Amino acid sequence: MIEQGVNSPSINSLAKILGGIPMSVAQFFSCDLSLLSQQIFRAEDLRAKQRTVSSSINSQNIPLQNASTQTRFERLAYAVNSDTGEVPQYSAQAVSGYILSGSIELTLNTEVVILASGDAFSLGAMQPFRFRNISTTEECLILTCTL
């Protein structure tokens, strides 16, 4: 009935409903649009904060609203024919990724797999890996999530 506009909830009813979201009554009534600038990240701002991993690999961290989380989102750009190097890479946390564009050769231990745009991967913590961009005409973009 609330959804159809037939009935308006009391504050107590609203508090119970919001308890399942979870959201407090104060948060519900404080439509603070200034928080939008802390939730939306424009491409030019992200580019300005990007860091160079190597001469052919750039990284952009995507900020998270909850700074206490261990999760990290990162956009990686590998130039044509670039790679992470001959020495295997390791991450202390599990890493999942999605290939946004291009093709990447992923080496896991001794196995080599070719991933193309739209493919994804998931690596366990401390699993040795190597990325090599095998695209011939474009950089390879990977969006990763570290947990």
Category of 127 on φ-ψ map: left (φ > 0), alpha (ψ -120 to 50) or beta: beta
Q: Which residues of the chain carry a pLDDT beneath 70?
A: 22-23, 27-41, 63-70, 147
Q: Looking at residue 98, what is its pLDDT?
A: 86
Task: For each of the domains in the chain, give its residue range(s) and CATH number, in order of start.
Answer: 1-31 (no CATH), 43-146 (2.60.120.10)
Q: Which two tokens stand for residue 103?
A: 């093709």
Q: Can you tell me whether residue 87 is helix, strand or coil?
A: coil
Neighbour-count burial for 49-63, b at 16+ CB within 10 Å, e otherwise: eeeeeeeebbbbeee
Mean pLDDT of the chain: 79
Tokens of 43: 């491409």
pTM of the model as a whole: 0.61
Residues in the chain: 147
State pLDDT tens for residues 5-26. Answer: 777 777 787 777 777 776 677 7
Query: What is the model's pLDDT at position 60?
Result: 76
22 half-sphere exposure, CB direction, 13 A CA radius: 0
| Residues 27, 30, 34, 37, CA torsion sign | positive
